[in-house]
Amino acid sequence: MTQTLETSHPPLTLLSSDEELFQSSVRQFARERVAPLVREMDEKGEFRPELLQEFFRMGWMGIEIPEVFSGAEGTFFHAILAIEELAAVDPSAAAIVDVQNTLVNNALLRWGNEDQKKRYLPRLATDTVGAYALSEAGSGSDAFAMATVALDKGDHFLLRGQKLWITNAKESGLFLLFANAKPEAGYRGITAFLIERDFPGFQVGRKEDKLGIRASSTCELLLDDCRVPRENVVGEVGQGYKIAIETLNEGRIGIGAQMVGLAQEALDHAVRYAKERKQFGKPIAEFQGVQFQLAEIATEIEAARLMVYNAARLRESGRPFAKEAAMAKYFTSQVAERAASLAIEIFGGVGFTRDYPVEKLYRDAMIGKIYEGTSNMQLQTIAKAILGNRG
C-alpha cells in the first residue's frame, strides 16, 4: 500500500467505488468553488451565503437524512469523507458541514420522534442550518454543570440562561439546545430542546472574534423566558445527558476528519514548496533533514486517517466506538498542529506571513485540541476504557 506525498487521496482499498466517487466530487467542488473565497472569508470572519446554498444543493447538509425527508440518504462515512475533503481547503467549511451532520442531524435521527423528524429533517436537508448548543461559561469540559434552566409550564417550557461558543449560530435557523429541567436532579435533569430562531425570548448574541476557523461563526445565545412547546423536547425530559454524550462521541470522529484534512493540506503545501525553494544551489527537498521531517509527518497523517476511518466504520457497524473516537480526536489534533507547524518551518520567513496559506492552517489547527472535548477529556475517556477492560 503506497501513497505519494502530493496527494490527499487515502489508499483506495479503504473506500468503496461509491465512496471514492463521492470523495472526488467533494474534492473537486472544494478546489473550484471554495478555495478562491477562503482568504476573503477568513479576513472578514464570514462564510459566503451562496456557498451554504450550494452545500444544501449538493446534499452535504443532510448526508444521512433519508430521501423521504429530502436528504441524501448517505452514510456516516460519507459525511466523514466530505468533512475531510472540505477541511483540506477550508476548515471553516468543514466545521459547518460537520456540526450539521454529526451532531444536529444525527441527534434528531436517533432521538427525535416521527413528528419532529417530519417537521425538521426536510428543513435541515434543504435550507436550514442547525447548531448544537451545549457549552456555557461555567460548563465546558464539565458539560453537565450547566446553569441554563427549563421551567415546566405544562404544555411548554420557559428557558432561562446563556450559551457560549455555539458553532453555526449566526447562520442557524434551528438549535438543538440543552437545559436543565430538574436542577435538583443534577445531570439527570438535563433535557434536549429544539428551538427555532424566532421563538419568543430567544436571541443570538455576540459573535466571537476568533484566532482560527474564522469564517465559521461562533456566538453566544441568550434565553430570556424563551417559550418552547413541549412537543419540541427531544427524547424525554432528563434524557439530555445521554443524548449529549452519545452525539458527541460521533462528533469527535468528525473533528478527527477535520484535522486529517487540514494536516494533509499542510503537508501538501510543504512538499510543493520544498521542491521549489532553492538553497545552496538545489531544492531544499533534496536535503535529507527536510526529507525526514516530511516523511515523519506523512506517516503520522496516514496513521491519523486510519484511526478516523476505523472509528467511523465501527460506528456504522453498530459496534462500540467511544474509545476509538476519543483516540482519533486526540491524535489527529496533535498531528494537525505538528503538520501545520512544520509547513510554516519549511516555508521559512514567508510562512510566517499571511501572503502564504500555511499560517492560516496553523491558526485553524489550534481548535482541534479544544472543541467537542479537550485533549485532556479525550485522554480521560481513553484511560477509563483501557483500565476498565483490564479491571
- Pairing between strand 190-196 and 202-207? unpaired
Tally of CB atoms within 10 A around 347? 20
Q: Terminus-to-terminus CA distance in the chain, angstroms?
A: 37
In this prediction, residue 293 carries a pLDDT of 98
pLDDT at 143: 76
Give pLDDT, residue 183. Answer: 95
Residues 318, 324, 326, 332, CA torsion sign: negative
Cα distance between residue 96 and residue 86, in whole Å: 10
Q: Tell me the mean pLDDT in the region 32-58.
A: 98
Torsion region of 256: left, alpha or beta (phi above 0 gives left; psi -120 to 50 gives alpha): alpha
Summarize pLDDT for 94-125 with one digit per residue, the tens.
999 999 999 999 999 999 999 999 999 999 99
Report residue 166 as a C-alpha cell: 455555539
Report residue 389's pLDDT band, with 50, 70 and 90 as the boundaries. Answer: low
- Average pLDDT of the chain? 95
Q: Is the pLDDT of residue 166 over 60?
A: yes
Q: What angle do CA 196, 197, 201 make, to 5 degrees?
A: 95
Segments making up each domain of the chain, as ranges: 12-128, 131-238, 242-390
Residues in Cβ contact with 40 at an 8 Å cutoff, skipping those fewer than 6 apart: none
Q: Which CATH superfamily is domain 12-128 in?
A: Acyl-CoA dehydrogenase/oxidase, N-terminal domain (1.10.540.10)
Span 225-240, average pLDDT:
98
CA–CA separation, 145 vs 135, rounded Å? 9
* Phi, psi values for residue 229, rounded to 5°: -60, 145
Q: Decide the pairing of beta strands 202-207 and 218-229.
A: antiparallel
Q: Which residues pair with 180 in a beta bridge?
A: 149, 190
Domain 131-238 fold? Butyryl-CoA Dehydrogenase, subunit A; domain 2 (2.40.110)
Res 2: pLDDT: 33
Q: Which pLDDT value is given to residue 1?
A: 33
Q: Which residue has the higher pLDDT, 388 or 26?
A: 26
Give residues with Cβ within 8 angstroms of 196, minimum separation 6: 173, 174, 175, 202
The stretches of the chain forming alpha helices (DSSP H) are 17-29, 38-44, 49-58, 76-87, 91-98, 106-111, 114-126, 240-276, 288-316, 322-347, 358-365, 375-390
The residue assigned the cell 439530555 is 240
- pLDDT mean over 289-309: 98
User: Which residues are catalytic, by number?
Assistant: 372
Q: Which residues pair with 279 in a beta bridge?
A: 282
Please check the confidence at residue 235 and state whether its pLDDT lies above 50. yes
**Of residues 254 and 389, which shows the higher confidence score?**
254
Distance of alpha carbon 15 from the chain centroid: 21
Integer Cα distance of 108 and 134 in angstroms: 15
3-state secondary structure of 60: coil
pLDDT at 5 over 80: no
**Using CA of residue 169, residue 315, residue 93, residue 273, what is the dihedral sign?**
positive
Dump pLDDT digits (tens) for 329-356: 999 999 999 999 999 999 999 999 999 9
pLDDT for 3 beyond 50: no
> CATH for 242-390?
1.20.140.10
pLDDT over 90 at 9, yes or no: no
Find the mean pLDDT for residues 381-387: 96
Query: What is the model's pLDDT at position 66?
Result: 98
Task: Give the whole-number percent of the chain exceeding pLDDT 90.
Answer: 93
Model confidence at 13, pLDDT cuts 50, 70, 90, reads: low
pLDDT-derived band at 211 (thresholds 50, 70, 90) equals very high
Average pLDDT over every residue of 67-86: 98
Alpha-carbon distances, residue 346 vs 89, 108, 210, 281, 285 (angstroms): 19, 45, 26, 17, 9
Q: What is the pLDDT of residue 4?
A: 37
Closest listed residue to residue 80, CA positions, set 255, 317, 228, 300: 255
pLDDT at 225: 98
User: Distance (Å, rounded) from C-alpha 208 to C-alpha 235?
Assistant: 31
3-state secondary structure of 236: coil
Query: How many Cα neighbours within 13 Å face the side chain of 133?
Result: 36
Per-residue pLDDT band for 142 (boundaries 50, 70, 90) equals confident
Strands 156-167 and 218-229: antiparallel
